[in-house]
Structure 1
Amino acid sequence: MRLRFTVRARLLLACVLPLSLAMVSMLGVVICNYYRDLVRESELRLRAEVNEAGLRIDLANVTALTVPKTMALAQEAGLFGNRLVSLEFARRILEAFPEFTGAYFGYEPDGDGHDRTASQTGEVPSDAVSREGRFLPYWFRDREDPLRIRLSPLVNTESSYYYRGVKNRHEGKKEEEGVSLSGGISRLYRNSGNGAQGQRFTMVTEPYDYEGKYMVEHAVPLLRDGRFLGIAGVDKALNDIDDTLRKMHHHESGGFFLLSQRGRVIASTVDPSARARPIEDTRWLAVLEPAYLDTGKGTFQLAPDPRDGAETYFVSTRLATGDWKLVLVASREEILAGLSDTIKGAVGISAFVLTSVLGLAFLALRTVSRRIEDAARVAARVAAGDLGSRLEVADSDEIGDLLRAMEAMRQALADLIGRVKRSSEQLVALGDEITTAARHDESLAHEFGALTQQVAASVREISTTGDEMVRNVADVAGATAETAEVASAGRACLAETETAMRRMSERMSSVVERFAAIGEQAKGINRIMNAMTDIAVQTNLLSLNASIEAEKAGKQGAGFAVVASEIRRLADQSAVAALDVEAMVRDMQRAVAGGIQVLESFQEDMSTAGLSNVRRLADHFTAVLERIEPLVPGFGQVYEGMRAQSEGARQINDAMVALKDEAQVAAASSKHLSSMVVKLHTAVQELQAEISKFRL
């Protein structure tokens, strides 16, 4: 069963449904774009946070390295070897920078040539030199009282990064060569040989615990003419770096990892147990390794948290000073927490807007559909044939235009039905007239066919008579020739000549009678041709009348106009053929009259001379021969004339046969015209039956 969709349903499907889908799609696109923007913004914010924290830490490192650089430059500028001033200078540095936990110089063994003197004279405090007199002053803050500054000689110079590592790098060796570090460095570290031989560089050591202090050292080599003389450096405690990182972390979850150049965890607010350990010895290797190995501006990862598997952001940045890596850890759920509320709000607003649009659309469509239903009822009344009910329209919108157009259509249809009804009545009357004319044309065509048959029969008789006359004239011509031969043969054949003359006279009488009969028959043909001409004229008039009536009928009479034109053409051809036959008959009459005159003259001569003159014929045989000889060509002419007359009669017979065929065609056309009129009557009756269904 085929479903029936109302206009309201179609409009809902065609307009409201696509609009709803468009709004839902738009909402989806907006949410997707908002999600992408939020994720992008979150990524940028996380990058900004880690970069800001990295800059603050790097700034502290730069400050920490600037001080030992200044100390090294002072040594190289003339302070080297002046142990007392150098000792005081290091102490002043520590006092000036409370963030440092220690400041120191470390000379190479007898680097300034005063080791023995210093050990003997005691000019320099013993806590500033080794037992051999080597200048190794180390000022540091007391653990119990940070304001108290104490002095002791440097230790482990040949097994630590702050001295042996600096010296190794200066000499182009692997910096970890000979260095002992508790816990070791990461196996991922590959930047051991850095080609710094003979060049100035800085050293940030690995963090370690020294007498309960978690610290890192910043050391700079002392150089003179490219020769390594010792180091200048400061110590910086890392005990408070965790607090610093916590203050820079703005999220409830996660925290920071600070990685050293050699792959050890300097600080961790996420997992304190990982501090001072190589990253591969922690459970965070999978997420810290990409950040540690990165040589660019940082990494951005979304990976599972090793502790609970939750999706977590790991964002890193590189600190230029010391080549440290700072990794920010933040839960994805926390970062995107505001998205859910935003999406819910957007969905709620969109649902409200969509519901409002659907309600307004339904009300508008209901109003439109009601008016369309009114138009449908009007159209149904018109389809049922009720053209008398007027439709009043007051609205000026598109549906009002539709109703006004339907009212105009109803009025135009009513006028059209009235005109068609009157035209059908006229067609009925015209069809009756055409039927009468067609029947009259058909009877005339039958009469014309009968007359043509009579004319054809008469022409056939004339043709037969002409053939006999031709044969008789041929016989006369032969007799004349024989007479001439007999006359030329001699008088002895005179008796035979007399007999031949008698026979010739009899035959001439028969010829004269035949010619007279032909003349009478030709007159009868003329009368028949006149009658045929009159019939053709009447047929032409009738066909002209039928053409006029067909033109009045318009398109319905187009077929009758063609038939009437064909009948008029046949009538014209019949008249022309009759005139041709009449002219040929007149020619035949003149030829027959001429032949009769010649034969009568010949017969009169024969009768005048008579058989009584036969005897005198012998005396005048020569004169007779002279008269007969000229007659021989005359009989030849008569023979040719009779033969032409016979041929003309055959042509007349053919013309009459063709005329008979044309008459039959005219009769068939009249019959076809009658059948067309019958069909016209049937069509008009059907038209009237359909028109009767409409009520004006």
Structure 2
Amino acid sequence: MILKKFRRGLLGQFVKFGVLPSVLVVVAIVAITTSLSIGSKRMDARELATAEAEYICSRGETFDQKAIGTVTAMALAIENGLYSKKADTLKYAKAVTEANPMFGVFIVYEAIGAAAKSSLGPTAASEITIDQATDANGRFVPSFTRDSTPSHSLVLRPINNVGEYEYYKTAKQNFANGNASKMIVTEPHMHEGELVTEFALPISIDGKFAGVVGVTRPLVFANEAIKQLAIESGLNMYLLTDKDNFVTAYAGDITATEQMRATFESISGKPLDKTPWATSLRTLLAQSGKNVLGTAVNPLNNAETIHAMTRVALNDWKVVVEIPRARLVHEIWSDLWLDLLVGVVGIIIMATLILLTATKVVGEVSGVTVAISSTAIEMAGSSRQQESVSQSFGASSVEIAAAVRQITVTGSELLRKMETISKAASESSQNASEGRVGVQAMGATMEGLASATSNVAERLSMIFEKASSINSIVDAITKVSDQTNLLSVNAAIEAEKAGDSGRGFLVVAREIRRLADQTAAATLDIEKNVQQMQAVVSGGVMEMDRFSEQVRRGVTNVGEVGQRLTKVIDQVGSVESSFSEVTEGMQSQVQGADQIRQAMDALTQNASRAQEATSEFSQAAAALRESIMSLRKVIGGDITA
């Protein structure tokens, strides 16, 4: 019951919505940090594996370069004078062996007439003779090696059955194929109880194959170096040839069992396919490139681990470095436990702070609720007083608003009447203005008419004068016609006198007389018409004079009417402006009354809203009291299910 009450209380809610989310956030941060740390450790492991593989390769390349340099120098020395000097050759080979403790030296001469010797065993190098370096067939085949004693003393022995050795057969074949300068590197093999590889070159004398010179590299030194590196770094290491034969392998994993280490060491000298790693390393070894990163399964513990492979540049041997799972897990946990510890401590500190804060807040809230409760009671009493005041004020504002609304209606009606009168005055003024324009236009028309009548009279006078000049022209034409008629008569008389020869001229004379008679008749008609026209024009001129006088009197009358009408229009315009001023004043009064009405309406609404707000305030105060009671129950956890 107590736990249930706590869980429902305010403090329990703080724990639920404050402590638990904070714990989840911290857990999420730790998880993300762990994921990033694991990724970073895996990347560091890849870089470490690559660096170790490259280091082993660099050491191997250094030994290979030294071996190749030694063989090359020996081949040049033999080809340039030592070939025919066996004793000097032995001394030179001994000196080279002493200078290179990790190498054995061998020389093979083709038969040059040496006596056959019985089978000889090894001889201490301090007692060297040519016979000790000659095999049973008389071939000069010295080999300097070191014994297994702690002092590793030099031993000289002949190479028996040299023709069966891989380096000899390969050197002879290369020479025959024109590759005399190609360095020969044999696959690791067991020789006299130890794993070795040889570096060799053919000897050329006068363009003919004369033997082989080389060094033997015991791989025990490589095994020891890789073993030492594996132990120091805690990594598993493998060395394979270019044909995927194991040279050496060692398990540096600190969690490896003795059986696992024995299995690693037992694969030295074996092909990949003959070992448990035949399947797991095949994909990694098949990839091209100098540096290769990948994952493979360790067949001894079935753990998928990170592998890095690097190739030796001179002979394409492969160095493989494996990061044991135990090492990677150890490094990850070495950082992870600190993150977990910090996360747990952070959760404890955060939870403690939140609980302390929540306890303090709950206490303060409990005290505040008491003060708020008393304040709510005071608010309720005050709200009731405000509600009664608001009701009284609302009633008064409603009465005032009704009176203002009546004033607004009366003013609006008076404004409409004044607008009607103002509109009529405006129309009268407009009509008077239009009448003045009409009178002015009529005056202009009358003046134009007077001017036109004067012009018509003048033109009629000119027509009368022209008609008079036409009479003189008609008289001249009549005289010409009479003379033409007289001439035609004379011509006819003369033609009669001429007889037949003047008959044609007689016809012309008659025709001329006929035309002269027609001209005289036409001239007479013209004269009559002109006289009639003169009479008409003369009457028109007199009528136009009388009309012009009447027009001039009409223009004068129109001017006087226009002046009187202008005075009337000016008076109407002044009346219109007075009506406009009165109308504008009425509009201002109506607008003022309407604004007062709107203000009273707004005041009435505000009074109603204030009353509603006061009522709501009373309800809020009651709700506040209920909320405070509920809050007290929440703080105490007294909540019914």
Q: Name the TM-score, length of structure 1 as normaliser.
A: 0.50
Higher mean alpha-carbon deviation, 282-291 vs 244-253, is at 244-253
Structure 1's 34 and 239: CA in aligned 2 closer, same or farther, altered over 3 A? same
- Equivalent residue in structure 2 for 1:257, among 238, 247, 252: 238
Cα contact 2:57–2:312 (8 A) shared by 1: yes
Q: CA deviation at 1:377?
A: 6.5
Query: Residue 106 of structure 1: which of 105, 108, 121 is its match?
Result: 108
2:343 aligned with 1:350: yes
Give the equivalent residue in structure 1 for 2:71. 68
Select 1:246's aligned residue among 227, 234, 237.
227
How is 1:263-412 mapped onto 2 (pairs within 5 angstroms)? 263-269=244-250, 270=261, 271-368=264-361, 371=364, 386=379
Following superposition, the deviation at residue 388 of structure 1 comes to: 7.2
Q: Distance in 2 between matches of 1:162 and 1:693?
A: 111
The more displaced of 349-358 and 8-17 is 8-17
Give the corresponding residue for 2:62: 59
2:199 aligned with 1:232, yes or no? no
Cα distance in structure 1, aligned partners of 2:148 and 2:608: 130
Q: 1 CA distance for matches of 2:305 and 2:617?
A: 83
Shift of 1:126: 3.3
Distance change >3 Å, CA 75–CA 53, structure 1 → 2: same
Whole-Å separation in 1 of the counterparts to 2:196 and 2:24: 64
Secondary structure at 1:327's aligned position in 2? Answer: strand
Q: Map Cα deviations across residues 600-642 of structure 1 (whole Å, 9 max, x no partner).
A: xxxxxxxxxxxxxxxxxxxxxxxxxxxxxxxxxxxxxxxxxxx
Q: Secondary structure at the match of 1:285?
A: coil
Letter in 1 for 2:35: C
Q: Is the CA contact (8 Å cut-off) linking 1:203 and 1:322 kept in structure 2?
A: no
1:85 Cα offset (Å):
1.1
Instruction: Name the aligned partner's letter for residue 313 of structure 2.
Output: A
Matched, 1:222 2:193: no
| 1:323-363 CA distance string (max 9 Å, x none) | 32222344212332132243133112112112212322343
- How does 1:151-166 map onto structure 2 within 5 Å? 151-166=156-171
Letter in 2 for 1:358: A
* 3-state SS of paired residue (1:37): helix
Inter-CA distance 215–566: structure 2 relative to 1 (3 Å threshold) = same
User: For residues 433 and 258 of structure 1, what CA distance do their matches in structure 2 show?
Assistant: 112
CA contact (8 A) 1:163 1:231 kept: yes
How far, CA to CA, are the matches of 1:162 and 1:363 in structure 2? 85
Secondary structure at the aligned position of 2:162 is classed as: coil
**Distance in structure 2 (CA, Å) of the matches to 1:99 and 1:574:** 135
Tell me whether 16-25 or 88-97 shows the greater mean CA deviation: 16-25
Cα shift readout 1:429-448 (whole Å, capped 9, x = no counterpart): 4545777xxxxxxxxxxxxx
Tell whether the 8 Å contact from 1:274 to 1:282 is kept in structure 2 after alignment: yes
Distance 1:198 1:62 in 2: 20
Between 122-131 and 303-312, the greater mean CA deviation after superposition: 122-131
Deviations 1:381-438 (Å, cap 9, x if unpaired)?
666662679xxxxxxxxxxxxxxxxxxxxxxx89xx75x7546424424545777xxx
Deviation at 1:137, TM superposition (A): 2.2
**2:395 corresponds to:** 428
Matched, 1:43 2:36: no
Relative to structure 1, the CA distance from residue 348 to residue 226 in structure 2 (aligned partners, 3 Å threshold; closer, same or farther) is: farther
Secondary structure in structure 1 of the residue aligned to 2:281:
helix
Judged with a 3 Å threshold, the aligned counterparts in structure 2 of structure 1 residues 350 and 133 are, in CA distance, closer, same or farther, namely same
Once superposed, what is the RMSD of the aligned Cα atoms?
Answer: 4.6
Aligned length: 414
The alpha-carbon deviation at position 130 of structure 1 amounts to 4.5
For the residues of structure 2 that align with 1:132 and 1:322, how far apart are their CA atoms? 34
Q: Does 1:566 align with 2:409?
A: yes
Contact 1:80 1:86 in 2 (8 A): yes
> In structure 2, what is the Cα distance between the partners aligned to 1:573 and 1:288?
111
Higher relative CO (CA 8 A, sep ≥ 6), structure 1 or 2? 2
How far apart are the structure 1 equivalents of 2:218 and 2:419?
143
Partners of 1:692 and 1:307 in 2: CA distance:
87
Distance, in Å, in 2 between the alignment partners of 1:575 and 1:6 is: 78
Equivalents in 2 of 1:694, 1:262: separation in Å?
Answer: 96
State yes or no: 1:32 paired with 2:32.
no
TM-score (normalizing by structure 2): 0.54
- Match runs of 1:394-473 below 5 Å: 418=386, 422=389, 424-429=391-396, 431=398
**Partner Cα distance (2:351, 2:138) in 1:** 96
Identical-residue share of aligned pairs (%): 22
Deviation at 1:280, TM superposition (A): 1.0
Verify the 8 A CA contact 1:302 1:313 in the aligned structure 2: yes
Residue 71 of structure 1: how far off its partner (Å): 0.9
Paired AA for residue 275 in structure 2: T
Residues 469-618 of structure 1: pairs in structure 2 closer than 5 A: 546-547=403-404, 560=405, 564-570=407-413
